[in-house]
Amino acid sequence: MPWDPDQYERFREERLQPGRDLIAMIEAGDGLSVIDLGCGTGRLTRELADRLPHADVLGIDRSEEMLAEARQHARDAVRFERRAIEDIEGTYDRIYSNAALHWLPDHPALLKQLMSHLAPGGQLAFQVPSNSRHPITRIRHEVMRSEPFADALANRPSDYGVLDLHEYAHVLFDLGAEAIQVREVVYPHVIEDADAIAEWQKGTALVPIREALGNESFDAFLDAFRERLRAEWPGSPVLFPFRRTFVSARAPI
């Protein structure tokens, strides 16, 4: 998937805040083994490592473009590897993942897999966008289903695999997890205008659409998307209330 670190970093502070809020949910400890799933540019991996004394931290991502950035944050005991989340190996005291797991389907199966990689008493903590009912998502789906894009995008998932809050709690409970926390937070971003919303989405939600359409058709998609966004939000500034789900749970000792 052609992730573009520069595009992703255009809204750096807005994107970092939930990742930092997730780091604050990580239980402290000495000499922990830690993995960051879908580490992207590695900035948060480094911040997580800085907070955990003597930790051995591995950031994994399947995008070589993102990893090229991430490697600038490598140091002793902070490593980055190209690997898919589906293919993780080993056990960890802390599994952290910010804004990445929503790209994977079947979260009940995914959580089962991730819990099996926790050491006894280890913690899984992740954050995923839960914006599927926001008008921006509706507009994106409408443009995806419109001509001439519908055929090329027919097999793209039209929604995130993100579960409802209570479903995460149930799934984790059924897996025997302890200290389960599930919460939703709305980040009320104030951004310049409708075009800025399109720019934001270019860094994340539109990445697989660009991949499916190719650059030329993607430009046409972007024009149609911008036009719809401008009709919905003609003014400036625009409030973009971004919903995010935070989940944390511990493996039994």
Ligand X SMILES: C[S@@+](CC[C@H](N)C(=O)[O-])C[C@H]1O[C@@H](n2cnc3c(N)ncnc32)[C@H](O)[C@@H]1O
* Residue of 130, 131, 204, 248 interacting with ligand X (CB under 6 A): 204
Binding mask 12-41 for ligand X (x = CB under 6 A): ---x---x------------------xxxx
State yes or no: residue 103 binds ligand X (CB under 6 A): yes
Calpha distance 8→204 (Å, rounded): 7
Calpha distance 239→221 (Å, rounded): 23
At closest approach, how far in Å is the CB of 181 from ligand X?
Answer: 19
Residue with smaller CB distance to ligand X, 16 or 77: 16
Calpha distance 134→244 (Å, rounded): 12
At closest approach, how far in Å is the CB of 253 from ligand X?
Answer: 28
At closest approach, how far in Å is the CB of 35 from ligand X?
Answer: 11
Give residues with Cβ within 8 angstroms of 243, minimum separation 6. 129, 130, 131, 134, 184, 185, 186
* Residue of 35, 58, 78, 85 interacting with ligand X (CB under 6 A): 85
Contact (CB, 8 A) for 247 and 181: yes
At closest approach, how far in Å is the CB of 196 from ligand X?
Answer: 17
Q: Smallest Cα–Cα separation from 210: which of 130, 152, 124, 170?
A: 152
Calpha distance 117→64 (Å, rounded): 24
Q: Smallest Cα–Cα separation from 228: which of 129, 132, 141?
A: 141
State yes or no: residue 122 binds ligand X (CB under 6 A): no
- H or E element that contains 20: helix 12-23
Residue with smaller CB distance to ligand X, 200 or 233: 200
Residue with smaller CB distance to ligand X, 1 or 239: 1
* Residue of 28, 68, 84, 231 interacting with ligand X (CB under 6 A): 84
State yes or no: residue 245 binds ligand X (CB under 6 A): no
State yes or no: residue 129 binds ligand X (CB under 6 A): no
How many Cβ atoms sit within 10 Å of the Cβ of residue 112?
14
Query: For ligand X, which stretch binds (CB under 6 A), given 23-31, 95-103, 147-155, 180-188?
Result: 95-103
Query: For ligand X, which stretch binds (CB under 6 A), given 78-86, 163-171, 172-180, 221-229?
Result: 78-86
Calpha distance 74→41 (Å, rounded): 11
At closest approach, how far in Å is the CB of 136 from ligand X?
Answer: 16
State yes or no: residue 98 binds ligand X (CB under 6 A): yes
How do beta strands 238-250 and 118-129 pair? antiparallel
Instruction: Enumerate binding residues for ligand X (CB under 6 A).
Output: 1, 3, 15, 19, 38-41, 44, 61-63, 66, 84-86, 98-100, 103-104, 204
